[in-house]
């Protein structure tokens, strides 16, 4: 599976034309203890860069932007009862939503893991 990253610290990993989206470990560490996550509605259509979710923490509320355009096909309902999963497992169990990609060309605007690691190192 291919994983891509945004400058806003979201990741997306594809299985076919469906991408699983979450925030990076760097993002969760900057937010601190996560207390609530507002997820997008399944079936909603989203555009690349749209704010589609909000992560609340003890430090701040932070928008989550979708890395690609498409249709939200699933959300991680388990985060309703356990939002702290994003703190402990941001890149696996702490995923936020899944989106069916509508424009593969949008992937060109995203970073691979090496580029994202270099980006974070400069922050």
Task: Grade residue 1 by pLDDT with cuts at 50, 70 and 90.
Answer: low
Neighbours of 98 (CB within 10 A): 20
pTM of full prediction above 0.85:
yes
Q: What is the pLDDT of residues 72-96, one digit of tens each?
A: 999 999 999 999 999 999 999 999 9
Q: Would you state the structure tokens that stand for residue 15, as one six-digit string?
A: 């299985």
For residue 65, CA distances in Å to 7, 12, 81, 100 come to 10, 11, 22, 15
Alpha-carbon distance of 74 to 91, in angstroms, equals: 17
β-pairing, 10-15 vs 45-46, is unpaired
Q: Give me the domains of the chain, ranges plus CATH numbers.
A: 3-101 (2.40.50.100)
């Amino acid at each position: 599976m291919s994983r891509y990253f945004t400058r806003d610290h979201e990741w997306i990993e594809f299985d076919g034309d469906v991408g699983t989206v979450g925030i990076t470990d760097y993002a969760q560490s900057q937010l601190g203890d996560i207390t609530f996550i507002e997820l997008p509605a399944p079936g909603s259509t989203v555009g690349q860069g749209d704010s589609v979710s909000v992560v609340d923490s003890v430090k701040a509320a932070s928008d989550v932007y979708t890395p690609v355009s498409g249709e939200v096909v699933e959300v991680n309902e388990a985060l309703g009862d356990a939002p702290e999963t994003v703190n402990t497992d941001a890149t696996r169990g702490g995923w936020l939503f899944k989106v069916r990609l509508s424009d593969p060309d949008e992937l060109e605007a995203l970073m691979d893991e090496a580029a994202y690691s270099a980006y974070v190192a400069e922050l």
